[in-house]
């Protein structure tokens, strides 16, 4: 073999190794988010945590609300590099508990969030693993309030380069107990002020330790009560999201590559290859308003709807009217993300026709709303509801200024509303339940509302600033 041939082969081998390395590096970190029982709003928090992690592009997150059964299969959980636990409920039992412990001992990471540290008191190995627990001797927490979280170790991979968290809105646990005298490293603390009902001392807010070969990241932050709209801000605070993502990456890999500020790095306004194969059609490319026009108009309303921020943006200011899809849809699945301004009100109206004065006179509406600051809203008019007819079955809406994921499915007379990953409305418009709700609503004055089986999809102009992105639709047949 000539020297030139040998060199050529060497180059090929090096390139192959480099490509293999790049493919390996591009593989997402596989995470299992464990939830399903909580004395907090786990349906809301767990899906926020999933979105937070996946927004970085670094994680592929599976979510289970049945940990006893999922963890019982040792082979299936071996693929996960990290377990993110947002759970406070019954023991998992065997073989789930042993499988979980063995996976961590072999090197899988663990992330403990907020009231998870209330769980499993008396399970000695669990207590060793998480170090600090809410047990007898814990005096509790003060009121939900904004407080600073200070990083006390600036050299750990999780905290290196991070600025202290300022005015983080949350519940501040105090006097957690280290029942097993576990050795841990404190990363962050916060002053538990007496004015807020606290201890007047600095309390731990983030810590790390090892269990076997596994790395454990634990933060008592992330409190959201069920049916408590004002506490929902804790887990969508960008500062908390940064900490959670960096802590999860470290627990999974022992290193941190993520940046020190929260940026939504997910690609927007594009379809994946899978979505294309499934028949999805993009309704907004992030740059133009092609495919949209004003209701009962040939063009977009002048000077009101914009695309400056990579979203269909209803700017603050004068009203310009609803916008509708150029095409009409009968049976379909529609998805988008929406972000409403503080105190704002809008809606997604579907199967509307243009033979009336307004889109809502024929089309049903999925409400888009700031549930906290829009005045006088009944449960049937909150974000995600089938407007003025059916309230959400689960409290999963996110606060004003945050992106909510909406999905509407229409097949014949059956309608589904999904919000942030959960089905919140499921109704057949020919059912007695629907007829009763209609008779008790304001729609009796607009009897054609919801009667059309095909129509446009409209984004409502209700005078409020609102943004829509990742807007897509696919038409359904009996086989989809």
Q: Tell me the average pLDDT across 250-255.
A: 97
Residues 249 and 279 in one domain: no
Is 280 in the same domain as 229?
no
Q: Is the domain of 86 the same as that of 213?
A: yes
Q: How confident is the model at residue 5 (pLDDT cuts 50, 70, 90)?
A: very low
Query: Binning pLDDT at 50, 70 and 90, where does residue 132 land?
Result: very high
DSSP code string of 212-255:
TTEEEEEE------TT-GGGGGGGG-HHHHHHHHHHHHHHHHS-
Residues 166 and 63 in one domain: yes
Last residue of a domain, one of 205, 225, 253: 253
**What's residue 263's pLDDT?**
57
Torsion of CA 75, 128, 221, 418, to 10 degrees: 20
4 found inside a domain: no
242 and 294 belong to one structural domain: no
Q: Is residue 2 part of a domain?
A: no
- Map tokens 């969508």 to a residue: 236
Is residue 264, in this structure, part of any structural domain at all?
no
Tell me 258's DSSP state.
Answer: S
> Both 143 and 229 in a single domain?
yes
Higher pLDDT, 273 or 174: 174
pLDDT at 419: 97
Residue 480: pLDDT band by 50, 70, 90 thresholds?
Answer: low
Residues 420 and 291 in one domain: yes
| H helix runs in 409-470, sequence order | 432-439
Cα of 6 vs its chain's centroid, Å:
53
Tally of CA atoms within 13 A in the half-sphere of 458 that contains its CB = 30
Last residue of a domain, one of 253, 286, 304: 253
Q: Is 462 exposed, middle or buried (0-12, 13-18, 19+ CB in 10 A)?
A: middle
Token digits of residue 134: 């809410």
State the CB neighbour count (10 A cutoff) for residue 7: 10
Pick the more confident residue, 390 or 136: 390
User: Are 207 and 291 within one domain?
Assistant: no
317 has a pLDDT exceeding 90 = no
Q: Is residue 258 part of a domain?
A: no
Q: Which two tokens stand for residue 138?
A: 């814990």
Residue 384 resides in a domain? yes
Q: How confident is the model at residue 478 (pLDDT cuts 50, 70, 90)?
A: low
Q: What is the pLDDT of residues 55-114, one digit of tens each?
A: 888 999 999 999 999 999 999 999 999 999 999 999 999 999 999 999 999 999 999 999
Q: Say whether both 117 and 51 belong to one domain.
A: yes
pLDDT of 10 strictly over 50? no
pLDDT band at 14 (very low <50, low <70, confident <90, very high): very low
Q: What is the pLDDT of residues 255-301, one digit of tens each?
A: 999 988 875 445 689 887 778 989 999 999 999 999 999 999 999 99
Distances, alpha carbon 344 to alpha carbons 39, 304, 382, in Å = 30, 16, 11
Same domain, yes or no, for 404 and 299? Answer: yes
Q: Domain total for the chain? A: 2
- pLDDT band, residue 26 (cuts 50/70/90): low
Nearest to 474 by CA among 276, 326, 281: 281
Boundaries of domain holding 356: 273-475
pLDDT of 16 > 70? The answer is: no
What CATH number corresponds to the domain at position 452?
A: 2.60.120.560
Residue 119 domain-assigned?
yes
Strand partners, 145: 170
Write out pLDDT tens, residues 319-357. 789 999 999 999 999 999 999 999 999 999 999 999 999
pLDDT tens per residue, range 408-450? 999 999 999 999 999 999 999 999 999 999 999 999 999 999 9
Most confident of the ranges 134-138, 221-225, 301-305: 221-225
480 lies in a domain?
A: no
> What is the pLDDT at residue 225?
93
pTM of the model: 0.74
In a domain, 402, yes or no: yes
- What secondary structure does DSSP assign to 346-370, as a single string? EEEEEEE-SSSSSGGGTSEEEEEE-
User: Percentage of residues in the chain with pLDDT exceeding 90?
Assistant: 83
What value does the mean pLDDT take over residues 145-171?
A: 96
pLDDT at site 25: 43
pLDDT of 56: 86
Same domain, 285 and 232: no
Please, what is the average pLDDT of the chain?
91
CATH number at residue 127: 3.40.50.880
300 and 192 inside one domain: no
Q: Which two tokens stand for residue 404?
A: 């909510």
Contact at 8 Å (CB) between 377 and 386? no
Choosing from 218, 253, 288, the residue where a domain stops is 253
């Amino acid at each position: 073999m000539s020297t030139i041939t040998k060199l050529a082969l060497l180059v090929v081998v090096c390139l192959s190794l480099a490509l293999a390395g790049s493919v390996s590096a591009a593989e997402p970190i596989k995470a299992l988010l464990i939830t399903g029982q909580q004395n907090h709003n786990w349906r809301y928090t767990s899906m926020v945590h999933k979105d937070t992690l996946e927004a970085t592009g670094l994680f592929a997150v599976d979510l289970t609300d049945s940990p006893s059964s999922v963890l019982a299969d040792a082979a299936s959980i071996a693929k996960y590099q990290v377990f993110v636990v947002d759970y406070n409920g019954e023991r998992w039992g065997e073989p789930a508990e042993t499988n979980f412990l063995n996976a961590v001992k072999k090197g899988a990471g663990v992330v403990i969030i907020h009231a998870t540290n209330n769980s499993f008191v008396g399970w000695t190995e669990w207590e060793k693993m998480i170090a600090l627990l809410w047990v007898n001797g814990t005096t509790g927490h003060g009121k939900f309030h904004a407080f600073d979280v200070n990083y006390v170790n600036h050299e750990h991979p999780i905290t290196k380069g991070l600025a202290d968290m300022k005015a983080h809105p949350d519940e501040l646990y105090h006097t957690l107990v280290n029942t097993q005298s576990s050795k841990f490293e404190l990363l962050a603390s916060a002053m538990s002020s007496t004015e807020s009902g606290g201890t007047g001392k600095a309390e731990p807010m983030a810590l790390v330790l090892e269990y076997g070969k596994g790395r454990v990241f634990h933060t008592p932050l992330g409190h959201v009560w069920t049916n408590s709209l004002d506490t929902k801000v804790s887990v969508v605070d960008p500062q908390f999201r940064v900490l959670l993502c960096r802590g999860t990456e470290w627990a999974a890999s022992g290193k941190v590559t993520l940046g020190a500020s929260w940026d939504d790095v997910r690609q927007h306004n594009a379809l994946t290859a899978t979505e294309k194969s499934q028949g999805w059609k993009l309704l907004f490319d992030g740059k133009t308003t092609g495919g949209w026009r004003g209701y009962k108009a040939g063009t977009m309303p002048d000077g009101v709807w914009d695309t400056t921020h990579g979203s269909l943006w209803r700017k603050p200011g004068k009203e310009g009217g609803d916008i509708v899809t150029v095409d009409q849809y009968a049976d379909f699945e529609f998805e988008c993300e929406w972000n409403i301004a503080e105190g704002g009100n809008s809606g997604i109206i579907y199967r509307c026709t243009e033979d009336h004065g307004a889109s809502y006179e024929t089309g049903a509406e999925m409400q888009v709303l700031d549930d906290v600051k829009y005045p006088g809203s009944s449960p049937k008019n909150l974000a995600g509801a089938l407007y003025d007819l059916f309230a959400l079955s689960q409290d999963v809406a996110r606060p004003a200024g945050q992106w909510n994921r909406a999905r509407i499915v229409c097949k014949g007379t059956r309608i589904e509303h999904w919000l942030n990953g959960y089905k919140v409305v499921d109704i057949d418009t020919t059912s007695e339940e629907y007829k009763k709700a209609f008779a008790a609503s304001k729609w009796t004055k607009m009897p054609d509302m919801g009667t059309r089986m095909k129509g446009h999809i409209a984004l409502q102009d209700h005078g409020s600033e609102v943004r829509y992105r990742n807007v897509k639709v696919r038409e359904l047949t009996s086989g989809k």
